[in-house]
């Protein structure tokens, strides 16, 4: 699939430039369409919006638990992200 080849090339380029591995933020829809987590060996960050995501072929390291979290002292919504140790 062309998109997977292009994505792998792009990831290799940015990782060579930055010297650090990339983390892929995959939405449920994108993962369903392209199955990136099966094809490209990278750490994944998924979206769950209150529910722990289960749509990746590999375990998540981060997941977006909520995009609308409110915190006193901060104007507007805050992205709440869970990080697995």
pLDDT higher than threshold 90 for residue 3: yes
Report CA 15 to chain centroid distance, whole Å.
16
Q: Which contiguous run of DSSP H or E holds residue 49? A: none
pLDDT higher than threshold 90 for residue 85: no
Q: Is residue 1 part of a domain?
A: no
Q: Could you tell me the pTM of the whole model?
A: 0.85
Q: Is residue 7 part of a domain?
A: no
- Its domain, for residue 41, covers 22-83
Q: What is the pLDDT of residues 26-78, one digit of tens each?
A: 999 999 999 999 999 999 999 998 899 999 999 999 999 998 899 999 999 99
Q: Is residue 28 part of a domain?
A: yes
Q: Is residue 16 part of a domain?
A: no
Strands (DSSP E) contained in the chain are 23-26, 43-47, 60-69, 78-83
Output the pLDDT for position 66.
92
Q: Is residue 44 part of a domain?
A: yes
Strand partners, 60: 44
Q: Is residue 17 part of a domain?
A: no
Q: Is residue 29 part of a domain?
A: yes
Q: Is residue 14 part of a domain?
A: no
Q: Is 43 left (phi over 0), alpha (psi -120 to 50) or beta?
A: beta
- pLDDT band of residue 20 (cuts 50, 70, 90) is very high
Q: How many domains does the chain have?
A: 1
């Amino acid at each position: 699939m062309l998109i997977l080849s292009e994505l792998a090339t792009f990831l290799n380029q940015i990782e060579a430039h930055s010297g650090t591995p990339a983390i892929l933020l995959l939405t449920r829809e994108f993962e369903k369409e392209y199955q990136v987590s099966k094809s490209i060996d990278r750490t994944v960050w998924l979206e769950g919006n209150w529910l722990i995501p289960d749509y990746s072929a590999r375990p998540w390291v981060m997941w977006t638990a909520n995009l609308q979290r409110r915190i006193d002292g901060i104007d507007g919504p805050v992205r709440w992200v869970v990080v697995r140790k």
